[in-house]
Amino acid sequence: MLSIKNLSLTIGDISVLKDIDLNIKPGQIMGLVGESGSGKSMTALAVMQLLPHASKTSGEIRFGDLDILNATEKQMCNLRGDEIGMVFQEPMTALNPVKTIGEQIAEGIRFHTGASGKDARDQAARILEQVGLPTSKFGLNRYPHELSGGQRQRVVIAIACAIQPKLLIADEPTTALDVTIQAQILDLLKKLVEENNMGLLLISHDLGVIADAADEITIIRSGEIIEAGPTRDILRNQSHPYTRQLAKASTHVPVRKTKPVTALDAKKAQTPPLLQVTNLICEYPTKRNSLFEKPLPFRAVDDVSFDIFPGQTLALVGESGCGKSTLARTLLRVHEPHSGGIEFEDMDLLNSGHQEIIAARRHMQIVFQDPYGSFNPRHKVSNIISEPMHLVKRKIGKDELVDALIQVGLEANDLEKYPHEFSGGQRQRIAIARALITKPRLIIADEPVSALDVSIRAQILDLLNYLRDKFRISYLFITHDLSVVRAFCDDVMVMNSGKIVETGSVSQLFDNPASDYTKQLLAAAPDLQKTLSARNS
């Protein structure tokens, strides 16, 4: 179906891909694995002919009888979305912010099939149901900003799969998804491959996902293929040092020099909590069903109570859309709660004046889920890092900025660069440096490693662990990756539909989960070793 031979790609004077060979047959799932910047996405963009203008390609890409590298733009327009679908890595930038999700799914259906508006919308509703967004809860008239990151990812998958293409290229399709939805999406993709004899190029940094889904695997590094072959054989034998390095990084556990701080130990020692949340309720208004009916509120956070102690790392896990990010924004008073209490170092944040809240924010910082989206693209790194200094009402010197960069593993000359000049892992380090600049006592980390490949993820976890040991920082660590929770956190809260359904230490919750929902999350989490063992049997 797809044949890539000796594909080389240069952008300006930089060599990006070197003699890539890759073949995908009908009904086959090919996994493409590598670190950030290894050339995975560029390989996919070369197939779609969506490369930057300064790029030059050589070699051959054939889709059936079509020579893609010599195809006209009209031929590619007919091919894209119809015979070749693509799930892009960043759903928010892939979606049109001024069009509803129903319009965006129906658009491709109408263009390629000539369906009427009503038929296209009906088909859009069906495909949204398949990817876990039933129209009874998620209407076609919603806009991308009204959905969570994981929900937007499902919309992108729905767009790519709407016309049942012959080949689907999925670039990190499950990165922003929680484990249960990730399992559903992988099952959906495998079902489409089986029922429609579709080919699938699955690009991912998660070896657990690749081991579960892919028939064949290609491992790429610095634009060159390191290993290729049957998934089970490659991941079981791990004959190449780089393959062993990736497998080791996927199960990396930071070495902690200080004793873990669990809530139980802190309460026994009568340590006062750093942050105390009591019966917190957050609601959003919904659209009116009629002119005369009062709109019913949507309760995103429902009667949530918990404490965070000095030096403690508390994980918050749950499905996409369960209220995790709303809770994080509410703690920082970016979103106003309906009722409840928030105390930070004995300060009542909900009944304090503006100046008191500003003072508290100096000691409460956040690392956002999408670092690139949280940066001003016109600002240099020096401006981005110094942005929170208005909270301490003083100017910051260049030496302090350099120290902040060095602490997170970057260099002094990075101060004069712009965000687009960095990789995803480097941008996450800049976001951490910005959060650290005011010397906070609590950092809210909203999916800080979800979009990073396994080796960069291990580096960021080591960095966060080093900062925790050195400065006794507390973390509210929001994530859907249960392997990260087990490796990094002290306690866990499990959230479902706005409610906390279970709380406990990491060992207690993973070894003896009490709620059915927690058991469901643990069962859905990808596990490289378990998957390989199951495939061997």
Q: What is the model's pLDDT at position 251? A: 82
Give 473-485 pLDDT, tens digit per residue.
999 999 888 888 9
264 vs 452 pLDDT, higher one = 264
Give dist(CA 482, CA 179) in Å, integer: 8
462 vs 192 pLDDT, higher one = 462
Sequence-distant contacts of 389-397: CB under 8 A, at least 24 apart:
389/437, 389/438, 391/358, 391/359, 391/361, 391/362, 391/438, 392/362, 392/438, 396/437
| N- to C-terminal Cα separation, the chain | 30
Range with the poorest average pLDDT among 3-12, 50-59, 444-453:
444-453
Give 113-138 pLDDT, tens digit per residue.
888 988 999 999 988 888 888 888 88
Q: What is the model's pLDDT at position 535? A: 55
Give 70-111 pLDDT, tens digit per residue.
999 999 988 988 899 998 877 777 889 899 999 999 988 888
- CB-CB contact of 210 with 236 (8 Å): no
Q: What is the model's pLDDT at position 209? A: 85
Q: What is the model's pLDDT at position 8? A: 95
SS3 169: strand
Q: What is the model's pLDDT at position 60? A: 95
Give the model's confidence band at 316: pLDDT under 50 very low, under 70 low, under 90 confident, else very high.
Answer: very high
Give dist(CA 447, CA 427) in Å, integer: 14
Alpha helices per DSSP H over 263-335: 263-268, 324-331
State mean pLDDT over 276-291.
84
State mean pLDDT over 330-339.
87
Give 219-276 pLDDT, tens digit per residue.
999 999 999 999 989 988 888 999 988 888 888 889 988 888 999 999 999 999 999 9
CA-nearest of 10, 85, 16, 74 to 47 is 85
> Residue 534 pLDDT more than 70?
no
Give dist(CA 332, CA 445) in Å, integer: 12
Q: What is the model's pLDDT at position 374? A: 83
- 199 CB neighbour count, 10 Å cutoff: 23
CA-nearest of 528, 529, 431 to 204 is 528
State mean pLDDT over 499-508.
93
Give dist(CA 239, CA 241) in Å, integer: 7
> Residue 350 pLDDT more than 80?
yes
CA distances from 250 to 148, 243, 481 (A): 26, 11, 11
State mean pLDDT over 289-305.
82
Give dist(CA 303, CA 326) in Å, integer: 13
Give dist(CA 506, CA 527) in Å, integer: 17
Alpha helices per DSSP H over 256-304: 263-268
State mean pLDDT over 307-319.
92
Q: Return phi, psi of residue 307, to 5°.
A: -125, 150
Helix (H) or strand (E) holding 501, with range, is strand 499-505
Give 175-233 pLDDT, tens digit per residue.
767 777 788 778 888 888 888 899 999 998 888 888 888 999 999 999 999 999 999 89
The number of CA neighbours under 13 Å toward the Cβ of 418 is: 5
Q: Return phi, psi of residue 378, to 5°.
A: -90, -5
95 vs 529 pLDDT, higher one = 95
- Which residues sit opposite 56 in a β-bridge? 10
SS3 447: coil
Instruction: Tell me which amino acid residue 389 is.
Output: M
Give dist(CA 85, CA 164) in Å, integer: 8
State mean pLDDT over 376-398.
84
β 29-33/55-63 pair status: unpaired
Helix (H) or strand (E) holding 84, with range, is strand 84-87
- CB-CB contact of 315 with 489 (8 Å): yes
Angle at 233 between CA 228 and CA 234, to 5 degrees: 40
Q: What is the model's pLDDT at position 47? A: 94
The number of CA neighbours under 13 Å toward the Cβ of 528 is: 20
SS3 254: coil
Q: How many residues does the chain have?
A: 537
- The per-residue pLDDT of the chain, averaged, comes to 87
Give dist(CA 429, CA 147) in Å, integer: 26
The CA-based dihedral angle spanning residues 230, 236, 240, 245, taken in that order and rounded to the nearest 10 degrees: 120
Give the model's confidence band at 432: pLDDT under 50 very low, under 70 low, under 90 confident, else very high.
Answer: confident
